[in-house]
């Protein structure tokens, strides 16, 4: 699979992928009252292959905590609590291998003068270290990290 690829139509295991790391923008899309159908379909078909980054967990929790609409905040807390419970055994922590990958990603991007957001480099490094494609819409930034990208908005 190319570094910046569209969403595979076949089962992931048929193309040699057993797990995928889901970026913040995908989980955020799924929290909407009417999520994009392609994204919803991708996660529905591949939920058992999906992993949650501990960094994404923090980023989503931060976004929810900042909401001023109490009813919306409470709805999202319930939704995300359920999601994190379901993914408890598939939550990827940031480890020494990811730290090494992060150092390489950041050094390469810095040398090219194309640094991206720190958290994006950390999440991409997790995907690289775990040898998992990163499922994201953020092709412009994540595509430069060297991580294999799946864009679920492009069926």
In this structure, what CATH number is given to the domain that contains residue 57? Answer: 3.40.50.1010
d(CA 140, CA 4): 9
d(CA 45, CA 27): 15
Give per-residue pLDDT as tens, 26-73.
999 999 999 999 999 999 999 999 999 999 999 999 999 999 999 999
Q: With bands split at pLDDT 50, 70 and 90, how would you rate the model's confidence at 139?
A: very high
Question: Does position 128 have pLDDT exceeding 50, yes or no?
Answer: yes
Assign 3-state DSSP to the chain and report helix, strand, coil percentages, each to 5. Answer: 60, 10, 30
Query: What pLDDT is attached to residue 15?
Result: 46
CA 96 to mean position of chain CA atoms: 19
Structural domain count, the chain: 1
Helix (H, G, I), strand (E, B) or coil at 147: coil
18, with CB counted inside 10 A (0-12, 13-18, 19+), is exposed
Query: What pLDDT is attached to residue 10?
Result: 54
Supply the range of the domain harboring residue 37: 4-151
42, with CB counted inside 10 A (0-12, 13-18, 19+), is buried
Matching residue, tokens 């960094």: 55
Q: Tell me the backbone φ, ψ of residue 22, rounded to 5 degrees.
A: -95, 125
Q: With bands split at pLDDT 50, 70 and 90, how would you rate the model's confidence at 5?
A: low
DSSP classification of residue 47 = G
Q: With bands split at pLDDT 50, 70 and 90, how would you rate the model's confidence at 18?
A: confident
Q: With bands split at pLDDT 50, 70 and 90, how would you rate the model's confidence at 154?
A: confident
Please report, for residues 51, 103, 130, 135, the alpha-carbon distance to residue 108 in angstroms, rounded to integers and kept in the order given: 26, 9, 19, 22
> 154 and 38 in contact (C-beta within 8 Å)?
yes
Give per-residue pLDDT as tens, 66-107.
999 999 999 999 999 999 999 999 999 999 999 999 999 999
């Amino acid at each position: 699979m190319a570094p910046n690829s569209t969403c595979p139509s076949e089962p992931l295991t048929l193309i040699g992928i057993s797990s995928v790391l889901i970026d913040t923008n995908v989980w955020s899309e799924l929290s909407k009252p009417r999520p994009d159908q392609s994204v919803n379909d991708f996660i529905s078909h591949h939920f058992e292959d999906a992993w949650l980054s501990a960094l994404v967990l923090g980023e989503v929790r931060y976004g929810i905590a900042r909401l001023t609409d109490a009813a919306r905040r409470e709805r999202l807390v319930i939704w995300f609590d359920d999601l994190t419970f379901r993914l408890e055994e598939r939550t990827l922590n940031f480890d020494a291998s990811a730290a090494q990958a992060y150092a390489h990603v950041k050094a390469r991007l810095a040398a090219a003068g194309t640094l991206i957001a720190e958290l994006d480099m950390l999440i991409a490094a997790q995907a690289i270290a775990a040898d998992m494609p990163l499922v994201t819409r953020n092709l412009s930034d994540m595509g430069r990290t060297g991580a294999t990208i799946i864009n679920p908005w492009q069926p």
